[in-house]
A = this chain, B = another copy of it.
């Protein structure tokens, strides 16, 4: 089961696609899973050495991630995981509420028995992980991601999915850093409740309720982060 959760796979191991593609997926997965903290530096040469490659594929991968705002690269300076100002975080949150809420609403109309079963399985996994007193944080983050993307995939829009993936690439490091510093947020159960509400809404085809459930999930986490986390400003 664990193998299916992105945080526990390494894109470098599957031998499909070019080296650049694999490095891109490798870094993207680690960013979404929060394995990098905002402000972290990484060097093309260091990464390429760690991966046993020349710097070319790393260069291309980093350049793509930079184009999507997932990394920042200033000429002749080290590549960094972006720091985010509070205003920027509020902006991206508002956009996520709109877009991910729309995807959830769409999923109500397009969900198939298969995708619904997938959503239910992910909901259960996340709930069970959250209820454990000593939850593995990395695992919980991955399970949360798995639930959300099960919903978004059910919407059946490749365009929407790609946009949402890019958004998660940017907020991944922040959400994860916050959860690491405030693990009690998991036990408060806000996310579990929102997921449950979302699941029920999709099961019953109530689009507006699904949108609100996702909005409250995202909004709740963001409000918490804005209150606790020292973002820039």
A91 in the interface (beta carbon within 8 A) = yes
CB A58 to nearest CB in B, in angstroms, measures 12
A92 in the interface (beta carbon within 8 A) = yes
A49 in the interface (beta carbon within 8 A) = no
* A67-B69 in contact (CB<8A): no
Give this chain's copy count.
2
Q: List 26 A-B contacts (CB under 8 A).
A: A20-B63, A24-B67, A59-B60, A60-B60, A63-B63, A64-B67, A67-B67, A67-B68, A68-B68, A88-B159, A91-B157, A91-B158, A91-B159, A91-B160, A92-B159, A94-B157, A95-B157, A95-B159, A95-B160, A95-B163, A98-B98, A98-B99, A98-B102, A99-B99, A159-B167, A163-B166
Residues of A within 8 A of B (CB): 18, 20, 24, 59-60, 63-64, 67-69, 75, 88, 91-92, 94-95, 98-99, 102, 157-160, 162-163, 166-167
